[in-house]
Structure 1
């Protein structure tokens, strides 16, 4: 129940951040102050609840510090990094702005290279070092981790801050890439990307986009299902292509599906193919109904085109 409460509140928080981001009556500093205040309150509440309710076992503890806390804390890192980026953005011709963005991308890539071993661990969903990276108080001798700031010893691990920063920097990287695309975009066509929210780009421009209101992990199950069954582009669509399409289509921000896949693999109480099982059951139930092939219902009382 505690984890579900965190996730519900997190979705609500991202919705509020989206409203703040889209409020043109607020200046850059005002947007930042309002956003960071909401995030700070949320992070404080999560910390209080976690420390007041011990984990059932080490597996649950590792899961929180590896997947949940980094996702939550990344919001704060992202907002600070985005504010810094926008406040330093030069006012000048497109080429000057392009150079500025390219330099920022180089900085992000250097950070990923600096922590290349841990970044690969993060991207690949490895588990061998989880007990030293995601259990508070675990001792780990790594010269790289000495660069990580001193954090709350009761509520921090060797790896959760790094994972938070990876998530935030990947989001910032995507924001910058979209801004670079915008420099070449025809006048009157816009796009925007923020932490947890993608603006429509590419093939989705000018088309209706639906909002995914189900569990985010179901999209990951769907994406891997499409990839492994080779349903797109004659089986040549990469996993990256598919998740970029899903993000763009549903306004999502799944930056590292491998982490969510690791969560699916760890399922114990429910089936590892929970979403596909649900789809199958729903479709079979629909087929069994007498009016399953009512053309008005199938077409939404209209035409498909």
Structure 2
């Protein structure tokens, strides 16, 4: 029950956060709006959690190892992102690069500082779950960081740390993409040829389909000689097609959850449609007759 409820709440929260990021450009307003959404979602999760009666520790562990960190990570992420955006030097690419490299060093240092627990998190280990993710478990260790005042009824020794691991991984991607953008040089502006007026194009399909396209472009390295970042590609597609695709890591996770044979459903559909068109064009046509609706004619 809690898994279904939390999945629904998290999906709604992340959709609301994506909409907020797309609509609000002012860092402070975006941060405060995001925090309001996150805290409300955590409050609702906390309410549902209070109604549960656990049979054993095995039912309690996933709440604090996976579910709560999936929500709380966004509070940490948006707070850290706000601090970076508001302290980023303006107008000087070299100073911005130096600043972001320092932020990247801070993130990597955090992972090294808690290397044992970070590896435990990355490997999805389970041996110490009874200590890390059960309320009231005695856990005194120099390996654990100082954490904010926690609600003992809705917190364990390591749920905050796992939330921070998740948040910092997303933040690291943001910093790397921004650094890549700053370090690009000699980018020629696009030149328009001819006087053809192209009307505005809007994406009218599911956004997950466009996410497939963006991921495909990124992993095949066909944009800017492979230097275009994934987040940069997503923002470019959003701008060109007037749509909000969302956070790259989350859309990739959605694709991974699909059945193995249909993970790239839209790309497969594109391939099949194009192949079908070419096969139809290759069909035998009696002499002297033209195939109707041909995509290419000899006169083209």
- Counterpart CA distance in 1 for 2:271 and 2:174 is 40
8 Å Cα contact 1:62/1:131 also seen in 2: yes
* Superposed displacement of residue 119, structure 1: 0.6
* Superposed displacement of residue 40, structure 1: 0.8
2:144 counterpart SS class: helix
So what's the TM-score if we normalise by structure 2? 0.65
Which of 226, 245, 253 is equivalent to 2:249? Answer: 253
So what's the TM-score if we normalise by structure 1? 0.64
In 2 relative to 1, CA 110–58 (structure 1 residues): closer, same or farther, beyond 3 Å? same
- Counterpart CA distance in 2 for 1:210 and 1:179 is 27
Counting only pairs closer than 5 Å after superposition, residues 138-153 of structure 1 correspond to structure 2 as 138-145=137-144, 147-153=146-152
In 2 relative to 1, CA 60–188 (structure 1 residues): closer, same or farther, beyond 3 Å? farther
1:22 counterpart SS class: helix
- Counterpart CA distance in 1 for 2:178 and 2:117 is 28
8 Å Cα contact 1:66/1:160 also seen in 2: yes
* Superposed displacement of residue 183, structure 1: 1.0
- Counterpart CA distance in 1 for 2:126 and 2:95 is 43
8 Å Cα contact 2:208/2:251 also seen in 1: no
1:22 matches 2:18: no
The corresponding residue for 2:126 is 127
Larger Rg: 2
Of 142-151 and 63-72, more deviation after overlay is shown by 142-151
Q: Residues 239-276 of structure 1, C-alpha deviation per residue, up to 9 Å, x if partnerless?
A: xxxxx89x98996416998xxx9xx9xxxxxxxxx935
1:103 counterpart SS class: helix
- Counterpart CA distance in 2 for 1:303 and 1:127 is 52
- Counterpart CA distance in 2 for 1:181 and 1:296 is 31
Where does the alignment leave 5 or more consecutive residues of structure 2 unmatched?
Answer: 191-203, 213-218, 221-229, 238-244, 263-268, 279-294, 296-300
Counting only pairs closer than 5 Å after superposition, residues 31-180 of structure 1 correspond to structure 2 as 31-145=30-144, 147-180=146-179
- Counterpart CA distance in 2 for 1:43 and 1:27 is 24
- Counterpart CA distance in 2 for 1:59 and 1:296 is 44
